[in-house]
Amino acid sequence: MQKLSIQGGVPLTGAIRVAGAKNAALPILAASLLVPEPVHITNVPRLNDVRTMVKLLGLMGVKTEAGEHDVRLDAASIGEPFAPYELVKTMRASILALGPLTARFGEARVSLPGGCAIGERPVDLHIKGLTAMGAEITIEQGNIHAKAGRLKGARIFMDTVTVTGTENLMMAATLADGETILENAAREPEVVDLARCLVAMGARISGHGTDVIRVQGVERLHGVTHSVMPDRIEAGTFLAAAAATRGAVTLEEAPVDALDAVIEKLREAGAAIAVGERTLRITMKGRPRAVSVRTAPHPGFPTDMQAQFIALNCVAEGAAHVTETIFENRFMHVQELRRLGAHIEVEGNTAIIHGVDRLAGAAVMATDLRASASLVIAGLVAEGETVIDRIYHLDRGYERIEERLGALGARIKRLD
Ligand code: UD1
């Protein structure tokens, strides 16, 4: 199993281009199921999760051709509208096939994702929404089985803000008969990027980016070329790494409008951040100050940046409270960070971090994608060598991390 070795203590300096957003690419790839014509998606990050989604679509009979950073898909006809457990268990986002398949083919079987490392993560709201649109849904042998004639527009209120739930229902509604109103919809930039892609396919959507999305169903959608937005979580991770190592880094092709909460908190930590049209320049002089954060749906502070900010706080001046409100078991990085010398207590859904002067390298284990990003940040700061095991978690969300951080001066290498 591959590991990552980091010799810490080098401030990150230089420029880095932000990759396409994983969490926008996945629903956009799934949206190809809605269209009987070729679709070309560009600025696609080269990540394991993207490969899994392309594989899943291919298994269903979608013609797929993946280039370095683009994917061509043609779902003119499909074979089996089925997402098997072997793939769903490696990637929960497979659930994104449910809405498009039901809407276009009147049938879908998607294996139930079940629990995962960061919590229960039910999909009840996806199911409720499709049921409200007229689908008949049963759970058989661990599979969600949806059957429908043409879906009907409906008013759907989601009592929890769900990103993939909003995406699934928005996709399904594009081909439904009549108007669908999604209330308490997710406002995440990735939902907006998906909506932009669907609109370019001929869908009639308004209100994306607000908490009420209206979709007027159409008879059919057409092919499109769409460029995926840059990844705000990858960008935020690089910013946090630059701040923790007291570096100076320019992010190119940065999603400057999607990072308000993160930029605000980094400034509070003492970083200078210059925002250009498509660039972000961060300079951190001296030791960061501790910053407390509380995760919330967008435009609040993203849960996917929580672990990285715990890592930053580990070496900050003062104490910080980091509260996780979205997922119930998302502090697995804490015990690994302690192995590097961090002082962290956990009380319920809050981590209390007392900044220390120095961390020291050690062997640690990645437990999930963003947890592994926090270990990389801590490793970049720690004195001596940090070896991170199970970096397949990291490879799900960060493209060639060792090469790209290496270009910023980090002493980092992959061990086989
Ligand atoms: C997406 C992101 C993930 C991010 C998360 C929150 C993708 C592929 N993944 O995950 O990186 O951490 O948003 O920003 O885009 N919930 C229910 N019932 C449902 C669905 C969700 O109760 O039917 C709850 C979940 O348990 C969780 C909360 O809603 O507590 C938010 O989850 P959700 O937004 O659905 O997360 P994902 O879409 O899976």
Per residue in 186-212, pLDDT (tens digit) is 999 999 999 999 999 999 999 999 999
Q: Which helix (H) or strand (E) holds 216?
A: strand 212-216
* Sheet architecture: strand order including 272-275: 13-17, 248-252, 280-283, 272-275
What's the pTM?
0.97
Count of C-beta atoms within a 10 Å radius of residue 221? 25
Name the closest-CA residue to atom 12, ligand 1: 304
Q: To test ligand 1's pocket by mutation, which of 156, 160, 295, 329 has the most ligand atoms within 8 angstroms of CB?
A: 160
Atom of ligand 1 at shortest distance to CA of 328? 30
Q: Which residue has the tokens 């980016």?
A: 209
Closest by CA to 286, choosing from 258, 315, 260, is 315
Name the closest-CA residue to atom 3, ligand 1: 304
DSSP letter, residue 71: E
Between the CA of residue 142 and those of 35, 124, 162, 406, what are the distances in Å?
A: 28, 14, 22, 44
pLDDT of residue 402: 94
pLDDT of residue 113: 79
Atom of ligand 1 at shortest distance to CA of 120? 26
pLDDT tens for the chain, residues 1 to 416:
799 999 999 999 999 999 999 999 999 999 999 999 999 999 999 999 999 999 999 999 999 999 999 999 999 999 989 988 888 888 889 999 999 999 999 999 999 876 455 555 789 999 999 999 999 999 888 899 999 999 999 999 999 999 999 999 999 999 999 999 999 999 999 999 999 999 999 999 999 999 999 999 999 999 999 999 999 999 999 999 999 999 999 999 999 999 999 999 999 999 999 999 999 999 999 999 999 999 999 999 999 999 999 999 999 999 999 999 999 889 999 999 999 999 999 999 999 999 999 999 999 999 999 999 999 999 999 999 999 999 999 999 999 999 999 999 999 999 98
- Using DSSP, state whether 116 is helix, strand or coil: strand
Between the CA of residue 380 and those of 240, 282, 320, 322, 374, what are the distances in Å?
A: 11, 17, 21, 21, 10
Q: Which residue is catalytic, options 112, 116, 199, 319?
A: 116
pLDDT tens digit string along 216-231?
999 999 999 999 999 9
Atom of ligand 1 at shortest distance to CA of 304? 12
Q: Is 116 a catalytic site residue?
A: yes
Structure tokens at 119: 């919590």
pLDDT of residue 114: 60
CA of 199 to the centre of ligand 1 (A): 24
Question: Distance between CA 286 and CA 402 in Å, rounded?
Answer: 25
Positive/negative CA dihedral, 91, 104, 189, 185: negative
CA of 113 to the centre of ligand 1 (A): 12
- Pocket around ligand 1 at a 6 A CB cut-off: 23, 26, 92-93, 120-126, 160, 162-165, 190, 303-304, 326-327
